[in-house]
Amino acid sequence: MFFMVTLTYPPTKANEVVQVFGKSLAEPLPSFLKRLHVLSAGGVGEPGIRTYSIFEAAKGKEYDALAELTKRMAWFHHIEGLRYQIETLLAAEEAIHLRGIQMP
């Protein structure tokens, strides 16, 4: 299973976000959670800067991975105007299988 963490914050808070992000990079992730990508988009105005982080959780460790990501997001709580969302994602093949659809 995959997780996507979306951070949205005002451009004026970019320095604070970078400081906290640096802290998150300095603390290694547990072995059951792998950071695949960190992408950024946006700029001045609404909704501000958006950062997307994609993680992969080891099978059977999804709950632990979500708990770890939630713990790390708490590090950002003091930054005014910052919002985040953690979404669960499935590979297309997994989603198709769960829906009972047969692949051609």
- What number is the average pLDDT over the span 68-91? 94
Pick from 14-23, 57-66, 89-98: least confident: 89-98
Q: Given the structure tokens 């979500």, which residue do they identify?
A: 66
At residue 60, does pLDDT exceed 70? yes
Distance between CA atoms of residues 25 and 38, nearest Å: 11
**48-65 burial code (b ≥16 CB/10 A, e <16):** bbebebebbbeeebbeeb
Domain 2-98 falls in which CATH fold?
Alpha-Beta Plaits (3.30.70)
Q: Which pTM value belongs to this model?
A: 0.84
Spans of all domains in the chain: 2-98
Band of pLDDT at residue 95, cut at 50, 70 and 90: confident
Each residue's pLDDT tens digit, 21-37:
999 889 999 999 999 99
